[in-house]
Amino acid sequence: MNKPYVIGVAGGSGSGKTFFLKCFLEHFSADEVCLVSQDDYYFPVGHTMTKEENKEYNFDLPSTIDHDHFESDIFKLLNNESFMKQEYTFNNPDAIPKMLEIKPAPIIIVEGLFIMHFGKIKDVLDMTIFIEADEHIALQRRLKRDLEERGYSNEDAYYKWVNHVVPAYKEHLLPYRDQADKIIQNNTQVADDIIKVTEEISRELREKVLGER
């Protein structure tokens, strides 16, 4: 098997990475692409915390990620090995985590806040995509998600945004923006705009990686 083509997708909280990836993956079959998400590599700390401790704990730092495990699993895929990984549920007591089987594929997508910050991961990326949104739009998306999916109050979500999310973005993610191969502005709520971008990139990859014309 030839070396897989590794795509890194980075972007701040609320930039729309999840929707971008959902659209992108629809252009490929499960045999053609696999996804490794940094979110599944948080050190398991939240379940032991009180609500107040959870509010104060900064999940937006590279140190909260088990990057050795993250790197190890990516290299397994590069060596044509599968692995099992428990899904991370963001300390949501109502969510039952699934065991994910990640299988090697010709295209590997690695996504997360710090994928360009972790040197060993950055070095294996063949293409990097940086997704960004204006801060007020990203904040509204974040507040909506934290309220609906993670059970935070608006006050707690806003506290994290001001004290954790924005400072971490500026220190650990934004410096890599201009090194990305593709920078995608995602301020729109119109799905067609992102679908068009993913179509263009997938067409490029089908020619470059899968040998299609």
Per-residue confidence (pLDDT) for residue 192, from 0 to 100: 79
Query: In 54-96, where do the E strands start and end?
Result: 83-86
- Per-residue pLDDT at 3 exceeds 80: yes
Confirm whether 138 is domain-assigned: yes
Q: For the chain, what percentages of helix, strand and coil (3-state, to nearest 5) are there?
A: 45, 15, 35
CATH of residue 47's domain is 3.40.50.300
Nearest to 118 by CA among 181, 171, 67: 67
Confirm whether 174 is domain-assigned: yes
pLDDT in tens, 41-92: 998 776 666 767 777 888 899 999 999 999 999 999 999 999 999 887 766 6
Confirm whether 160 is domain-assigned: yes
pLDDT in tens, 126-152: 999 999 999 999 999 988 887 777 777
Confirm whether 101 is domain-assigned: yes
- What pTM, to 2 d.p., does this model score? 0.89
- Per-residue pLDDT at 203 exceeds 80: yes
Domains contained in the chain, number: 1
Grade residue 12 by pLDDT with cuts at 50, 70 and 90. Answer: very high
Confirm whether 81 is domain-assigned: yes
Confirm whether 201 is domain-assigned: yes
Residue with the bigger pLDDT between 212 and 26: it is 26
Confirm whether 12 is domain-assigned: yes
> What is the distance between the alpha carbons of residues 74 and 9, in angstroms, rounded to a whole number?
14
Helices then strands, each counted (H, E), the chain: 8, 7
Confirm whether 212 is domain-assigned: no
Range of the domain at 136: 5-207
Q: What is the DSSP letter of 204?
A: H
